Copies of this chain bind each other. A is one copy, B any other.
Amino acid sequence: MPTVQVPLGNRSYEIQVGNRLIATLGERCRRLKIGTRCAIITDTHVAAKYGDGAIKALKIAGFTPTLIAVEPGESSKSLATVGKCFDLLAAHRIERKSFIVALGGGVVGDLAGFIAATYLRGIAFVQVPTTLLSQVDSSVGGKVGVNLKAGKNLVGAFHQPRLVLCDLDALVSLPDRDFKSGLGEIVKYGIIHDAALFQRLEKQMEPILARQSTALSSLVARCCAIKAEIVALDENDTGARAALNFGHTVGHAIENSIGYGKLLHGEAISIGHVAAAHLSARRLGFPAADVQRIKALLQQAGLPVSLKLTADKRDRLFAAMRLDKKVNAGEIHFVLAESLGKVVWGQRVPDAEVNWALDQIKE
């Protein structure tokens, strides 16, 4: 079973990738020597599938778990939900040495992680991501947070989990669209850090889409290892970690404005990858053939590479890009690729060229 180390000094932890891991949650938590009281934070959909299994695993290992299930969906990543969960944690007498288990996708992980980061000024938490997207991305690295009306992830903290369990069995029952959304971030790891991974994806998309266990196991582990490597270089996101935002300047803007509730994260990011690839070619000489390879691979993964773009939607996209956390002194910045596997960040792009890039993703 692949194990990936995230080396962050006294905040180091392991990511375990394998089958039937939720059943081992209790014994793995016991090895962390944390308190006996704990709260599983999840959503009602995930609770129906894995809640009983997680509770049973924790109880057998001697823990006293309580389960808090929020509504599924992005709207739960809010301060209002955070407040309700805080009150429940206090009612359940969750103490400083207690811990939180985040059981679910990215929304649950970000929400539960932020709650763990701030309840009693921070308590331990364990990530049990149940979607492909959260297994390869959001569960690793300690970025946790919630949304404001003004934008996604505008409130949060850096709070590393004590353990990440990527149970591959959870991927089998994932809706097709959610699974493919995860592939949007996986393609990103190829672009920003690993040309060999990119080639592997080109060759193995079929077994991956068929969710073959061996293909998924090495893929999830490789993506986690890349993320761990980047996070270890730049835990607090002041440098190298920016590379992880490839495709996200346009992708987040799509999510935050015109695509909200319509496009999944990986779908918006997929379109963002295409925009960033075109800009990379225009500004940094990234090979035109590789722009096409990126586009083709995303299409092979069943992801969108363009969207309908009226003048009004274009304006809203620009406004959203200017509100992004990555904005500095009002300028829009991009992560751009020099070649497959090699990116540079903090690239200021003039509005005219951003507009040109939007033309490239216009349906």
Contacts and interface: CB of A to CB of B under 8 A. Distances in A.
Interface of A: 35, 79-80, 82-83, 86-87, 90-91, 93, 95-97, 114, 117-122, 143, 145, 148-151, 154-158, 237, 323, 325-330
A123 to B, nearest CB: 10
A120 B323 CA distance: 11
A87 B157 contact: no
A112 to B, nearest CB: 14
Nearest to A142: B121
Contacts of A150: 87, 90-91
B79 A83 contact: yes
Number of copies: 2
Given A79-B82, A148-B87, A155 B122 contact: no
Nearest to A83: B79
Which one of A80, A82, A155 has the greatest number of beta carbons of chain B within 10 Å? A155
A155 B118 contact: yes
A151 to B, nearest CB: 7
Given A86-B155, A90-B150, A96-B326, 12 more contacts: A35-B329, A87-B148, A90-B151, A97-B329, A117-B157, A118-B155, A118-B156, A120-B156, A121-B143, A121-B155, A121-B325, A122-B157
Given A86-B79, A86-B148, A325 B120 contact: yes
Contacts of A151: 90
- Interface of chain A, main secondary structure: mixed
Please give me the 6 A-B residue pairs with the lowest Cβ-Cβ distance, nearest first. Answer: A90-B150, A121-B156, A79-B83, A118-B155, A120-B325, A86-B148
B323 A97 contact: no
19 contacts: A79-B79, A79-B83, A79-B86, A86-B148, A86-B155, A90-B148, A90-B154, A90-B323, A93-B323, A93-B330, A95-B327, A95-B328, A96-B326, A118-B145, A119-B154, A120-B325, A121-B155, A121-B158, A122-B158
A157 B121 contact: yes
Contacts of A148: 86-87, 90
A7 B156 CA distance: 26
Nearest to A322: B93
A84 to B, nearest CB: 10
Contacts of A329: 35, 95, 97
